[in-house]
Protein backbone atom coordinates (compact mmCIF):
# COMPACT_ATOMS: atom_id res chain seq x y z
CA UNK A 1 0.00 0.00 0.00
CA UNK A 2 1.27 3.49 -0.67
CA UNK A 3 0.11 6.95 0.24
CA UNK A 4 -0.04 9.03 -2.92
CA UNK A 5 -1.53 12.48 -2.57
CA UNK A 6 -1.60 14.72 -5.65
CA UNK A 7 -0.71 17.88 -3.75
CA UNK A 8 0.37 17.12 -0.17
CA UNK A 9 -0.91 19.69 2.33
CA UNK A 10 2.53 20.11 3.95
CA UNK A 11 6.15 19.74 2.87
CA UNK A 12 6.90 17.23 5.61
CA UNK A 13 10.52 16.65 4.61
CA UNK A 14 11.23 20.38 4.95
CA UNK A 15 9.39 20.51 8.28
CA UNK A 16 11.43 17.58 9.63
CA UNK A 17 14.64 19.55 9.16
CA UNK A 18 13.35 21.90 11.88
CA UNK A 19 13.13 19.04 14.41
CA UNK A 20 16.66 17.85 15.30
CA UNK A 21 15.38 15.02 17.50
CA UNK A 22 13.72 13.27 14.56
CA UNK A 23 17.00 12.47 12.84
CA UNK A 24 18.27 10.23 15.62
CA UNK A 25 18.35 6.44 15.67
CA UNK A 26 16.75 4.35 18.39
CA UNK A 27 17.85 0.76 18.92
CA UNK A 28 19.86 1.06 15.74
CA UNK A 29 16.80 2.05 13.68
CA UNK A 30 15.63 5.46 12.49
CA UNK A 31 13.31 6.96 15.11
CA UNK A 32 9.64 6.74 14.12
CA UNK A 33 7.93 8.96 16.66
CA UNK A 34 4.21 8.20 16.78
CA UNK A 35 3.28 9.59 20.19
CA UNK A 36 2.58 13.25 19.53
CA UNK A 37 -0.87 13.09 21.17
CA UNK A 38 1.01 12.59 24.46
CA UNK A 39 3.51 15.37 23.73
CA UNK A 40 4.85 16.77 20.48
CA UNK A 41 8.47 17.34 19.48
CA UNK A 42 9.85 20.91 19.36
CA UNK A 43 11.19 22.83 16.36
CA UNK A 44 14.43 24.81 16.67
CA UNK A 45 12.42 28.05 16.35
CA UNK A 46 10.80 27.35 19.74
CA UNK A 47 14.07 26.33 21.40
CA UNK A 48 15.80 29.41 19.97
CA UNK A 49 13.02 31.77 21.07
CA UNK A 50 13.37 30.54 24.65
CA UNK A 51 17.16 30.62 24.50
CA UNK A 52 17.06 34.13 23.07
CA UNK A 53 14.76 35.30 25.88
CA UNK A 54 17.08 33.78 28.50
CA UNK A 55 20.13 35.33 26.84
CA UNK A 56 18.78 38.79 26.11
CA UNK A 57 15.70 39.67 28.17
CA UNK A 58 15.61 37.58 31.31
CA UNK A 59 14.32 39.21 34.48
CA UNK A 60 11.17 38.67 36.49
CA UNK A 61 8.03 40.03 34.81
CA UNK A 62 5.62 42.65 36.20
CA UNK A 63 8.06 43.52 38.99
CA UNK A 64 11.02 45.55 37.83
CA UNK A 65 10.98 49.13 36.60
CA UNK A 66 14.24 48.51 34.78
CA UNK A 67 14.74 47.78 31.09
CA UNK A 68 15.34 44.03 31.31
CA UNK A 69 12.19 43.37 33.31
CA UNK A 70 10.19 45.59 30.99
CA UNK A 71 11.52 43.67 27.97
CA UNK A 72 10.59 40.33 29.58
CA UNK A 73 7.13 41.64 30.45
CA UNK A 74 6.61 42.92 26.89
CA UNK A 75 7.63 39.51 25.45
CA UNK A 76 5.27 37.73 27.88
CA UNK A 77 2.40 40.06 26.92
CA UNK A 78 3.17 39.60 23.22
CA UNK A 79 2.97 35.81 23.65
CA UNK A 80 -0.42 36.17 25.32
CA UNK A 81 -1.67 38.31 22.43
CA UNK A 82 -0.45 35.75 19.85
CA UNK A 83 -2.16 32.92 21.65
CA UNK A 84 -5.39 34.92 21.91
CA UNK A 85 -5.36 35.56 18.15
CA UNK A 86 -4.52 31.90 17.48
CA UNK A 87 -7.80 30.75 19.08
CA UNK A 88 -9.86 33.64 17.71
CA UNK A 89 -10.29 36.05 20.58
CA UNK A 90 -9.34 39.73 20.25
CA UNK A 91 -8.98 39.97 24.05
CA UNK A 92 -5.57 38.82 25.39
CA UNK A 93 -6.96 39.44 28.91
CA UNK A 94 -9.18 36.39 28.40
CA UNK A 95 -6.09 34.15 28.15
CA UNK A 96 -4.95 32.81 31.53
CA UNK A 97 -1.64 30.97 31.56
CA UNK A 98 -1.64 27.75 33.56
CA UNK A 99 0.84 24.88 33.78
CA UNK A 100 -1.17 22.69 31.40
CA UNK A 101 -4.72 21.72 30.46
CA UNK A 102 -5.06 19.69 33.64
CA UNK A 103 -4.37 22.74 35.78
CA UNK A 104 -6.78 24.83 33.69
CA UNK A 105 -9.57 22.29 34.30
CA UNK A 106 -8.75 22.13 38.01
CA UNK A 107 -8.82 25.92 38.13
CA UNK A 108 -12.34 25.82 36.71
CA UNK A 109 -13.53 23.12 39.08
CA UNK A 110 -12.08 24.89 42.13
CA UNK A 111 -12.93 28.46 41.21
CA UNK A 112 -16.06 28.37 39.05
CA UNK A 113 -17.35 25.09 40.45
CA UNK A 114 -17.00 25.92 44.11
CA UNK A 115 -18.33 29.48 43.70
CA UNK A 116 -21.33 28.86 41.48
CA UNK A 117 -22.48 25.22 41.78
CA UNK A 118 -24.90 24.18 44.52
CA UNK A 119 -26.15 20.87 45.91
CA UNK A 120 -28.49 19.20 43.42
CA UNK A 121 -26.96 20.96 40.41
CA UNK A 122 -25.83 18.82 37.51
CA UNK A 123 -22.62 18.59 35.51
CA UNK A 124 -22.55 16.76 32.19
CA UNK A 125 -19.34 15.32 30.74
CA UNK A 126 -18.91 12.41 28.31
CA UNK A 127 -17.84 8.78 28.43
CA UNK A 128 -14.71 9.51 26.42
CA UNK A 129 -13.00 12.09 28.62
CA UNK A 130 -9.33 12.15 29.57
CA UNK A 131 -8.94 11.89 33.36
CA UNK A 132 -8.08 15.62 33.39
CA UNK A 133 -11.66 16.39 32.36
CA UNK A 134 -13.18 13.69 34.53
CA UNK A 135 -11.55 13.58 37.97
CA UNK A 136 -11.86 17.32 38.87
CA UNK A 137 -15.61 17.19 38.15
CA UNK A 138 -16.06 13.89 40.00
CA UNK A 139 -14.26 15.28 43.07
CA UNK A 140 -16.33 18.48 42.91
CA UNK A 141 -19.57 16.50 42.52
CA UNK A 142 -18.78 14.34 45.56
CA UNK A 143 -17.77 17.32 47.67
CA UNK A 144 -20.76 19.50 46.77
CA UNK A 145 -23.53 16.92 46.31
CA UNK A 146 -23.79 17.50 42.56
CA UNK A 147 -24.94 14.95 40.00
CA UNK A 148 -22.41 13.95 37.34
CA UNK A 149 -23.92 12.68 34.09
CA UNK A 150 -22.28 11.27 30.98
CA UNK A 151 -23.07 11.68 27.29
CA UNK A 152 -22.71 8.12 25.96
CA UNK A 153 -20.63 7.10 22.96
CA UNK A 154 -22.17 5.23 20.06
CA UNK A 155 -20.79 2.03 18.57
CA UNK A 156 -19.06 4.05 15.85
CA UNK A 157 -17.15 6.08 18.47
CA UNK A 158 -19.08 9.32 17.98
CA UNK A 159 -20.94 10.91 20.88
CA UNK A 160 -24.63 10.14 21.06
CA UNK A 161 -25.85 13.71 21.02
CA UNK A 162 -29.47 12.51 20.77
CA UNK A 163 -29.07 11.49 24.41
CA UNK A 164 -28.26 15.05 25.37
CA UNK A 165 -31.90 16.15 25.32
CA UNK A 166 -32.73 13.66 28.05
CA UNK A 167 -29.59 14.47 30.06
CA UNK A 168 -29.90 18.26 30.09
CA UNK A 169 -32.34 19.66 32.64
CA UNK A 170 -32.91 23.07 34.21
CA UNK A 171 -30.47 21.93 36.97
CA UNK A 172 -27.63 21.50 34.45
CA UNK A 173 -25.04 24.17 35.31
CA UNK A 174 -21.96 23.03 33.38
CA UNK A 175 -21.18 20.85 30.36
CA UNK A 176 -17.58 19.87 29.64
CA UNK A 177 -16.28 17.73 26.78
CA UNK A 178 -13.21 16.95 24.69
CA UNK A 179 -13.25 18.68 21.30
CA UNK A 180 -11.15 15.75 20.05
CA UNK A 181 -10.78 12.47 21.96
CA UNK A 182 -7.21 11.43 22.74
CA UNK A 183 -8.18 7.76 22.37
CA UNK A 184 -10.91 7.45 19.73
CA UNK A 185 -9.93 10.58 17.84
CA UNK A 186 -13.63 11.51 17.77
CA UNK A 187 -14.18 15.13 16.78
CA UNK A 188 -17.21 16.60 18.52
CA UNK A 189 -18.93 19.59 16.96
CA UNK A 190 -19.42 22.00 19.88
CA UNK A 191 -22.38 23.82 18.24
CA UNK A 192 -25.29 21.55 19.25
CA UNK A 193 -23.91 21.12 22.77
CA UNK A 194 -23.34 24.85 23.25
CA UNK A 195 -26.83 25.63 21.97
CA UNK A 196 -28.59 23.17 24.27
CA UNK A 197 -26.43 24.03 27.31
CA UNK A 198 -26.94 27.77 26.90
CA UNK A 199 -30.68 27.22 26.51
CA UNK A 200 -30.79 26.09 30.17
CA UNK A 201 -28.22 28.66 31.36
CA UNK A 202 -25.33 26.17 31.70
CA UNK A 203 -21.74 27.11 30.88
CA UNK A 204 -19.71 25.08 28.37
CA UNK A 205 -16.10 24.01 28.85
CA UNK A 206 -14.27 22.67 25.78
CA UNK A 207 -11.15 20.58 26.36
CA UNK A 208 -9.12 21.58 23.32
CA UNK A 209 -5.97 19.63 24.27
CA UNK A 210 -6.20 17.53 21.11
CA UNK A 211 -7.82 20.12 18.83
CA UNK A 212 -5.87 23.38 19.31
CA UNK A 213 -2.61 21.76 18.08
CA UNK A 214 -4.22 20.23 15.01
CA UNK A 215 -7.00 22.35 13.50
CA UNK A 216 -8.27 25.91 13.23
CA UNK A 217 -10.02 26.94 16.46
CA UNK A 218 -12.25 29.97 16.89
CA UNK A 219 -13.59 30.31 20.41
CA UNK A 220 -15.82 33.22 19.48
CA UNK A 221 -17.50 31.33 16.64
CA UNK A 222 -17.78 28.32 18.96
CA UNK A 223 -19.34 30.52 21.66
CA UNK A 224 -17.95 28.23 24.36
CA UNK A 225 -17.53 29.80 27.79
CA UNK A 226 -14.14 28.22 28.51
CA UNK A 227 -11.52 26.51 26.33
CA UNK A 228 -8.39 24.80 27.65
CA UNK A 229 -5.24 23.34 26.10
CA UNK A 230 -1.58 22.49 26.78
CA UNK A 231 1.46 24.05 25.10
CA UNK A 232 3.56 20.89 25.02
CA UNK A 233 1.22 19.08 22.60
CA UNK A 234 1.51 21.88 20.02
CA UNK A 235 5.29 22.29 19.59
CA UNK A 236 5.62 24.40 22.74
CA UNK A 237 7.52 23.60 25.93
CA UNK A 238 6.21 21.76 28.96
CA UNK A 239 4.92 23.74 31.93
CA UNK A 240 2.67 26.11 30.01
CA UNK A 241 -1.04 25.71 29.33
CA UNK A 242 -3.96 27.96 28.56
CA UNK A 243 -7.38 28.69 29.97
CA UNK A 244 -9.55 30.91 27.78
CA UNK A 245 -12.67 32.25 29.44
CA UNK A 246 -15.31 34.81 28.58
CA UNK A 247 -14.33 38.03 30.31
CA UNK A 248 -17.47 38.40 32.42
CA UNK A 249 -17.10 34.85 33.75
CA UNK A 250 -13.40 35.24 34.56
CA UNK A 251 -14.17 38.53 36.30
CA UNK A 252 -16.90 36.93 38.40
CA UNK A 253 -14.76 33.96 39.45
CA UNK A 254 -12.71 33.95 42.67
CA UNK A 255 -8.97 33.25 42.41
CA UNK A 256 -7.69 29.68 42.36
CA UNK A 257 -4.24 30.21 43.90
CA UNK A 258 -3.29 33.25 45.97
CA UNK A 259 -0.02 35.09 46.60
CA UNK A 260 2.11 37.54 44.66
CA UNK A 261 1.12 39.12 41.33
CA UNK A 262 -2.57 38.20 41.63
CA UNK A 263 -3.40 41.07 44.02
CA UNK A 264 -3.75 44.80 43.44
CA UNK A 265 -3.61 45.60 47.17
CA UNK A 266 -2.71 43.74 50.35
CA UNK A 267 -2.85 45.27 53.80
CA UNK A 268 -3.51 44.15 57.36
CA UNK A 269 -7.13 44.99 56.65
CA UNK A 270 -7.53 42.68 53.64
CA UNK A 271 -6.75 42.15 49.95
CA UNK A 272 -8.05 43.24 46.57
CA UNK A 273 -7.58 40.95 43.58
CA UNK A 274 -5.79 42.03 40.45
CA UNK A 275 -7.68 42.29 37.15
CA UNK A 276 -8.00 39.27 34.86
CA UNK A 277 -5.96 37.45 33.76
CA UNK A 278 -3.40 38.23 36.48
CA UNK A 279 -5.95 37.38 39.20
CA UNK A 280 -5.40 33.75 38.15
CA UNK A 281 -1.62 33.86 37.77
CA UNK A 282 -0.25 33.77 41.31
CA UNK A 283 3.52 33.77 41.72
CA UNK A 284 6.25 34.07 39.12
CA UNK A 285 4.69 32.78 35.90
CA UNK A 286 6.35 30.47 33.37
CA UNK A 287 6.98 33.44 31.10
CA UNK A 288 9.89 31.89 29.18
CA UNK A 289 7.64 28.93 28.42
CA UNK A 290 4.87 31.32 27.35
CA UNK A 291 7.35 32.96 24.96
CA UNK A 292 8.19 29.47 23.65
CA UNK A 293 4.50 28.77 23.13
CA UNK A 294 4.20 32.09 21.28
CA UNK A 295 6.98 30.91 18.93
CA UNK A 296 5.15 27.57 18.48
CA UNK A 297 2.03 29.47 17.49
CA UNK A 298 4.06 31.50 14.96
CA UNK A 299 5.43 28.25 13.51
CA UNK A 300 1.97 26.66 13.20
CA UNK A 301 0.45 29.80 11.73
CA UNK A 302 3.19 29.99 9.10
CA UNK A 303 2.16 26.49 8.00
CA UNK A 304 -1.53 27.41 8.25
CA UNK A 305 -3.85 25.47 10.54
CA UNK A 306 -6.03 24.35 7.62
CA UNK A 307 -2.94 22.77 6.03
CA UNK A 308 -1.99 21.20 9.39
CA UNK A 309 -5.46 19.65 9.55
CA UNK A 310 -5.39 18.55 5.89
CA UNK A 311 -2.06 16.76 6.45
CA UNK A 312 -3.53 15.06 9.51
CA UNK A 313 -6.51 13.81 7.49
CA UNK A 314 -4.15 12.46 4.78
CA UNK A 315 -1.89 10.61 7.19
CA UNK A 316 -4.75 9.33 9.37
CA UNK A 317 -6.67 8.00 6.33
CA UNK A 318 -3.55 6.20 5.19
CA UNK A 319 -2.91 4.71 8.65
CA UNK A 320 -6.52 3.56 9.01
CA UNK A 321 -6.38 1.99 5.56
CA UNK A 322 -3.11 0.14 6.25
CA UNK A 323 -3.86 -1.00 9.79
CA UNK A 324 -7.36 -2.21 8.92
CA UNK A 325 -5.87 -4.73 6.46
CA UNK A 326 -3.83 -6.44 9.21
CA UNK A 327 -5.39 -9.67 10.48
CA UNK A 328 -6.52 -9.79 14.11
CA UNK A 329 -6.41 -6.03 14.58
CA UNK A 330 -9.34 -4.16 16.11
CA UNK A 331 -9.55 -0.43 15.41
CA UNK A 332 -11.33 1.93 17.79
CA UNK A 333 -13.12 5.18 16.96
CA UNK A 334 -14.84 6.58 13.88
CA UNK A 335 -13.54 5.18 10.60
CA UNK A 336 -14.21 8.40 8.69
CA UNK A 337 -10.94 10.43 8.90
CA UNK A 338 -12.94 13.64 8.52
CA UNK A 339 -14.62 12.94 11.83
CA UNK A 340 -11.48 12.13 13.77
CA UNK A 341 -8.18 13.64 14.78
CA UNK A 342 -4.73 12.20 14.13
CA UNK A 343 -4.79 9.28 16.53
CA UNK A 344 -5.26 5.65 15.61
CA UNK A 345 -6.00 3.39 18.56
CA UNK A 346 -6.02 -0.36 18.08
CA UNK A 347 -5.64 -3.74 19.74
CA UNK A 348 -3.93 -6.79 18.25
CA UNK A 349 -5.60 -10.07 19.09
CA UNK A 350 -3.90 -11.92 21.97
CA UNK A 351 -1.00 -9.44 22.21
CA UNK A 352 -0.93 -7.15 25.19
CA UNK A 353 -0.44 -3.53 24.05
CA UNK A 354 2.59 -3.18 26.37
CA UNK A 355 4.29 -6.20 24.74
CA UNK A 356 3.45 -4.78 21.34
CA UNK A 357 4.85 -1.35 22.22
CA UNK A 358 8.09 -2.93 23.52
CA UNK A 359 8.56 -4.94 20.34
CA UNK A 360 7.82 -1.87 18.24
CA UNK A 361 10.42 0.06 20.23
CA UNK A 362 13.04 -2.49 19.12
CA UNK A 363 12.22 -1.31 15.60
CA UNK A 364 12.59 2.35 16.59
CA UNK A 365 8.81 2.87 16.51
CA UNK A 366 7.48 4.82 19.53
CA UNK A 367 3.77 4.35 20.25
CA UNK A 368 1.74 4.66 23.45
CA UNK A 369 0.22 1.64 25.19
CA UNK A 370 -2.13 1.55 28.15
CA UNK A 371 -5.36 3.34 28.99
CA UNK A 372 -4.08 6.77 27.83
CA UNK A 373 -5.52 8.43 30.96
CA UNK A 374 -9.02 7.40 29.89
CA UNK A 375 -9.83 4.40 32.08
CA UNK A 376 -13.61 4.94 32.15
CA UNK A 377 -13.62 4.95 28.34
CA UNK A 378 -11.64 1.70 28.27
CA UNK A 379 -14.16 0.17 30.70
CA UNK A 380 -16.89 1.27 28.33
CA UNK A 381 -15.01 -0.30 25.37
CA UNK A 382 -14.55 -3.51 27.35
CA UNK A 383 -10.74 -3.54 27.22
CA UNK A 384 -8.05 -2.82 29.81
CA UNK A 385 -5.55 -1.28 27.45
CA UNK A 386 -5.00 -0.33 23.83
CA UNK A 387 -2.14 0.70 21.56
CA UNK A 388 -2.15 4.20 20.08
CA UNK A 389 -0.22 5.73 17.21
CA UNK A 390 -0.58 9.48 16.87
CA UNK A 391 0.59 11.84 14.16
CA UNK A 392 1.63 15.42 13.67
CA UNK A 393 3.01 17.83 11.10
CA UNK A 394 6.29 15.88 10.86
CA UNK A 395 4.78 12.42 10.30
CA UNK A 396 5.61 10.76 6.99
CA UNK A 397 3.59 8.02 5.24
CA UNK A 398 6.76 5.90 5.31
CA UNK A 399 6.57 6.03 9.11
CA UNK A 400 3.09 4.52 8.92
CA UNK A 401 4.65 1.80 6.73
CA UNK A 402 7.31 1.24 9.41
CA UNK A 403 4.57 0.92 12.03
CA UNK A 404 2.71 -1.66 9.97
CA UNK A 405 5.90 -3.69 9.33
CA UNK A 406 6.72 -3.58 13.04
CA UNK A 407 3.23 -4.82 13.99
CA UNK A 408 3.56 -7.68 11.48
CA UNK A 409 6.97 -8.58 12.91
CA UNK A 410 5.60 -8.52 16.46
CA UNK A 411 2.86 -10.95 15.45
CA UNK A 412 5.46 -13.32 13.97
CA UNK A 413 7.73 -13.11 17.01
CA UNK A 414 4.85 -13.92 19.29
CA UNK A 415 3.93 -16.76 16.89
CA UNK A 416 0.49 -15.41 16.30
CA UNK A 417 0.79 -14.70 12.61
C1 LIG B 1 -8.02 15.27 25.68
C2 LIG B 1 -7.00 15.61 26.72
N3 LIG B 1 -7.34 16.38 27.75
C4 LIG B 1 -6.47 16.72 28.70
C5 LIG B 1 -5.17 16.27 28.67
C6 LIG B 1 -4.23 16.66 29.75
O7 LIG B 1 -3.16 17.37 29.26
P8 LIG B 1 -1.93 17.75 30.22
O9 LIG B 1 -1.39 16.45 30.74
O10 LIG B 1 -1.00 18.47 29.35
O11 LIG B 1 -2.50 18.58 31.31
C12 LIG B 1 -4.76 15.44 27.63
C13 LIG B 1 -3.39 14.88 27.58
O14 LIG B 1 -3.14 13.88 26.97
C15 LIG B 1 -5.69 15.11 26.61
O16 LIG B 1 -5.35 14.33 25.58
Pairwise CA distance, residues 375 & 384, whole Å: 8
Q: Is 126 in the pocket of ligand 1 (CB under 6 A)?
A: no
pLDDT digits (tens, 9 = 90+) for 227-256: 999 999 999 999 999 999 999 999 999 999
What are the structural domains, with CATH classification, of the chain? 12-42+304-413 (3.90.1150.10), 47-302 (3.40.640.10)
Q: Which stretches of the chain drop beneath a pLDDT of 50?
A: 417
For β-strands 263-267 and 241-245, DSSP reports them as unpaired
What confidence score (pLDDT) does residue 63 get?
A: 76
Atom of ligand 1 lying closest to residue 178 CA: 1
CB atoms within 10 A of CB 243: 26
Residue located nearest, by CA, to atom 9 of ligand 1: 102
Q: Is 102 in the pocket of ligand 1 (CB under 6 A)?
A: yes
What confidence score (pLDDT) does residue 130 get?
A: 98
Of 3, 55, 94, 373, catalytic: 373
CA of 338 to the centre of ligand 1 (A): 22
What confidence score (pLDDT) does residue 187 get?
A: 98
pTM over 0.85: yes
The string over 385-414, giving b where at least 16 C-beta atoms fall within 10 Å of a residue's C-beta and e elsewhere, is bbbbbbbbbbbbbebbbbbbebbebbbeee
> Residue by residue, what is the 3-state secondary structure of the chain?
CCCCCCCCCCCHHHHHCCCHHHHCEECCEECEECECCCCCCCCHHHHHHHHHHHHHCCCCCCCCCCHHHHHHHHHHHHHHHHHHHHCCCCCHHHEEEECCHHHHHHHHHHHHHHHHCCCCCEEEEECCCCHHHCHHHHHHHHHHCCEEEEECECCCCCECHHHHHHHCCCCEEEEEEECECCCCCEECCHHHHHHHHHHCCCEEEEECCCCCCCCCCCHHHHCCCEEEEEHHHCCCCCCCEEEEECHHHHHHCCCCCCCCCCEEEEECCEEEECCCCHHHCCCCCCHHHHHHHHHHHHHHHHHCHHHHHHHHHHHHHHHHHHHHCCCCEEEECCCCHHHECCEEEEEECCECHHHHHHHHHHCCEECEEECCCCHHHHHHHCCCCEEEEECCCCCCHHHHHHHHHHHHHHHHHCCCC
Computed from CA positions of residues 363, 365, 366, 369, in that sequence, does the dihedral angle turn out positive or negative? negative
What confidence score (pLDDT) does residue 58 get?
A: 96
Q: Is 207 in the pocket of ligand 1 (CB under 6 A)?
A: yes
Q: Is 100 in the pocket of ligand 1 (CB under 6 A)?
A: yes
Pairwise CA distance, residues 390 & 43, whole Å: 18
CA of 205 to the centre of ligand 1 (A): 14
CA of 103 to the centre of ligand 1 (A): 10
Atom of ligand 1 lying closest to residue 230 CA: 10
Atom of ligand 1 lying closest to residue 129 CA: 1
Burial status of residue 56 (CB atoms within 10 A of its CB: 0-12, 13-18, 19 or more): exposed
Atom of ligand 1 lying closest to residue 182 CA: 16
CA of 104 to the centre of ligand 1 (A): 10
Q: Is 132 in the pocket of ligand 1 (CB under 6 A)?
A: yes
Q: Which of 230, 237, 242 to mutate to test the pocket of ligand 1 (most atoms within 8 A of CB)?
A: 230
Pairwise CA distance, residues 215 & 300, whole Å: 10
Q: Is 206 in the pocket of ligand 1 (CB under 6 A)?
A: no
What confidence score (pLDDT) does residue 5 get?
A: 64
- Asked if 386 contacts 346 with a C-beta cutoff of 8 angstroms, the reply is yes
Pairwise CA distance, residues 340 & 318, whole Å: 13
Atom of ligand 1 lying closest to residue 233 CA: 10
Cα–Cα–Cα angle for 251, 173, 277, rounded to 5 degrees? 20
Q: Is 106 in the pocket of ligand 1 (CB under 6 A)?
A: no
**What is the separation, in whole angstroms, between the first and last Cα of the chain?**
19
CA of 120 to the centre of ligand 1 (A): 29
CA of 241 to the centre of ligand 1 (A): 10
What confidence score (pLDDT) does residue 7 get?
A: 84
What confidence score (pLDDT) does residue 1 get?
A: 61
Residue 373 falls in the annotated catalytic set:
yes
Residue located nearest, by CA, to atom 16 of ligand 1: 182
Amino acid sequence: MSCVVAQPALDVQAIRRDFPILSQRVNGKPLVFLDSAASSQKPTAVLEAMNHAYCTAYANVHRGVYALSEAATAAYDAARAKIAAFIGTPEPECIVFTRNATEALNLLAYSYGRAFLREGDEIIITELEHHANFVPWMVLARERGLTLKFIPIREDGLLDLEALDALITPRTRLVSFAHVSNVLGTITDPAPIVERAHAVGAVVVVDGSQSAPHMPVDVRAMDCDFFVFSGHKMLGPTGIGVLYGKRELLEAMPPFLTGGDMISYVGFDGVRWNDVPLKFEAGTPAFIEAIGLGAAVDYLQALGMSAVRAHEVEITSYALECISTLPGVRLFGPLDPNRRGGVVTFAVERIHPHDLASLLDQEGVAIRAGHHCAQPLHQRLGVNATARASFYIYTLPTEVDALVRAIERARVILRRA
